Amino acid sequence: MLIGQYTSKLTDKDRISVPVKYREELGEELIIAKWYENSLVLVNKNNWEILIKRLIGAKGLIIEPVRDIDRFILGSAFELKLDKQGRLSLPEILIKFAQVKSEVVFVGLGDRVEIYSSENWREIEEGAQKKASEAVERIAKETR
């Protein structure tokens, strides 16, 4: 299972080192694409179709929301292989989209890895922490 957080630096050749734990689970043939909240999604090639089916549904109706997902995610996807040092080259379009300047944060979320610029991740994490705290408080009040 892909869990935890790891950081990596973007090299001058636009490469990032994939954490060893993720490499072991993902393998060497990967797909990376634009994702939500200005992040990137990284999955192994075999799990790509499963992830897409979760987004668009099993029936594959080509309605407008599905077409938008296709354009946004499938249209930005790249097949990549790790080099011998476990690095992947980030395409420039994805670097710009994710606003990566120097450091990225890999976040394991079970079946996928999301990749954020370190600045964007801090904002996402703070927001998630605040929402989780508010939910706990609301549940505590409701159970009294």
Walking along the chain (144 residues) 10 residues at a time, the average pLDDT comes out as 97 96 94 96 93 72 70 91 94 97 97 97 92 90 84
> Two tokens at 13?
């050749």
Contact 58, 71 (CB under 8 A): no
Q: Decide if 104 is inside a domain.
A: yes
Is 132 within the bounds of a domain?
A: no
What pTM does this model have? 0.86
Element (H, E) at 21: helix 20-26
pLDDT at 143: 82
The identity of residue 131, as a single letter, is: K
**pLDDT at res. 59:** 62
Residue 13 is assigned to a structural domain of this protein: yes
Quick check: is 95 in a domain?
A: yes
Confidence at residue 58, expressed as pLDDT on a 0 to 100 scale: 59
Predicted local confidence at residue 144, as pLDDT: 77
- C-alpha 15/C-alpha 91 separation (Å) is 9
**Residue 72 CB coordination number (10 Å):** 14
**pLDDT (0 to 100) of residue 3:** 97
Question: Number of folded domains in the chain?
Answer: 1
Amino acid 63: pLDDT: 66
> Domain holding 101: CATH number?
3.40.1550.20
Give the domain range for residue 58.
2-118
The Cα–Cα gap between 124 and 82 comes to 27
